[in-house]
Structure 1
Amino acid sequence: MRLAWAALMVVVPASLRRLIATRILGWDVHPSAYIGRSLIVVRHVTMGPDSGIGPFNVIRHLDELILERGASIATRNRIEAHPLAAVVFAHMKNRRATLALGPFAKITDAHEIDCSDAVTLGKHATIAGFRTQVLTHSLDLVRDRQTTGPVELGDRCAVMSGCILLSGTRVPARSIVSAGSVVTTKLTKELTFYRGNPAVEIRTLPETLKYFHREDLSDTERYYRAVEAAEARRDG
């Protein structure tokens, strides 16, 4: 039944999507949040003020999706947990199939994010560009069984296009991972530029970079208000 309501939300106007989300599915969606024409099959969704989920995303099999104030998921992203997670990962007692975006965090376009375990983005953290892969489950070749590990992005960090973040990894606050890099461990140094396969420290970054000082102003609010207005005009 949840899948049927999720499919219906793809085709109805924005005002009805919010109504289905709050009244029928029991999600916590702030009146200023925007839900685009995306397939969202998630047990529970929390969307704070001015947060937004754009069109053409597929978000499935998660226990929880959280977008705090001003956080956004743009378009054409595939965000899923393992569909048989309860069986495959029964031995992983602390696993959480969750995606949590802190205030003003952003996931841009056409990324693939595995949420078989928790993926967390801190305040103003960004998965930028296109086609980054975040993997929270992997095959333990020694024990010949699937395992999981959470992936964490610290406050105000940026992961650029075409990166791969493996299970159990971390990108520290106020750091940048160069396009095409592979993060295989918990990176530790803030104010650092990382690059390569595996990603290693390249140089220190200046604390004065404007990206590290973004203000708590929501471009998301203005953008999704415009999207919602355009959609309303199309729907007649």
Structure 2
Amino acid sequence: MKNFFQLISLLLPWQMRRAFLEQQFGFQIHPTAHIGLAWVLPSRLIMEENTSIGHFTVAKNLNLLHLKAHATIGRGNWITGFPPGDSRHFASETER
């Protein structure tokens, strides 16, 4: 369902989209922050003043994406994470 709402939000003008993302997903997006035509679905998003995420960026499987003031993620990035918790995938890497 989260993917469906994200897809629908891409059709909205930015001001309405920001309000929708804050209300629907609980994201914290400063009024001067901006997200382009991007697929951004962390569990928690915090965008401080004058931050931006460019077009054609994908950010998924992240617990937290926090952009401090004046930070920018350019266009065309693929950002993904590995879920925390018990997993045998990285069992041999004790410092991870």
Quickly name the TM-score band, shorter chain normalised: 0.7 to 0.9
- Number of residue-to-residue matches in the alignment: 95
C-alpha distance in 2, partners of 1:16/1:55?
Answer: 17
Shift of 1:35: 1.1
TM-score by length of 1: 0.37
C-alpha distance in 2, partners of 1:38/1:26?
Answer: 18
- 1:11 corresponds to: 11
C-alpha distance in 2, partners of 1:40/1:20?
Answer: 13
Amino acid of the structure 1 residue aligned with 2:23: R
- 1:26 corresponds to: 26
Determine what percentage of the aligned residue pairs are the same residue.
23
Shift of 1:54: 1.0
C-alpha distance in 2, partners of 1:23/1:146?
Answer: 41
Secondary structure at the counterpart of residue 61 of structure 2: strand
1:53-68 equivalence runs, <5 A: 53-68=53-68
Structure having the larger proportion of residues in strand: 1
Amino acid of the structure 2 residue aligned with 1:6: Q
Higher RCO, 1 or 2 (CA under 8 Å, sep at least 6)?
2
The list of structure 1 runs, each at least 4 consecutive aligned residues, that deviate by more than 4 angstroms after superposition, is: none
C-alpha distance in 1, partners of 2:9/2:27?
Answer: 13
- 1:212 corresponds to: none
1:194-209 equivalence runs, <5 A: none
Secondary structure at the counterpart of residue 49 of structure 1: coil
Amino acid of the structure 1 residue aligned with 2:45: V
Q: Deviation per CA, 1:185-210, whole angstroms, max 9, x where unpaired?
A: xxxxxxxxxxxxxxxxxxxxxxxxxx
Which protein is bigger by CA-based radius of gyration? 1
What 5-or-longer segments of structure 1 have no aligned partner? 92-138, 150-236
C-alpha distance in 1, partners of 2:21/2:70?
Answer: 19
Secondary structure at the counterpart of residue 12 of structure 1: coil
Amino acid of the structure 1 residue aligned with 2:38: S
- 2:77 corresponds to: 77
TM-score by length of 2: 0.84
What 5-or-longer segments of structure 2 have no aligned partner? none
Shift of 1:146: 5.7
C-alpha distance in 1, partners of 2:15/2:39?
Answer: 16
Shift of 1:81: 1.3
Alignment check: 8 A CA contact 1:59 1:78 kept: yes
RMSD: 2.3
Secondary structure at the counterpart of residue 21 of structure 1: helix
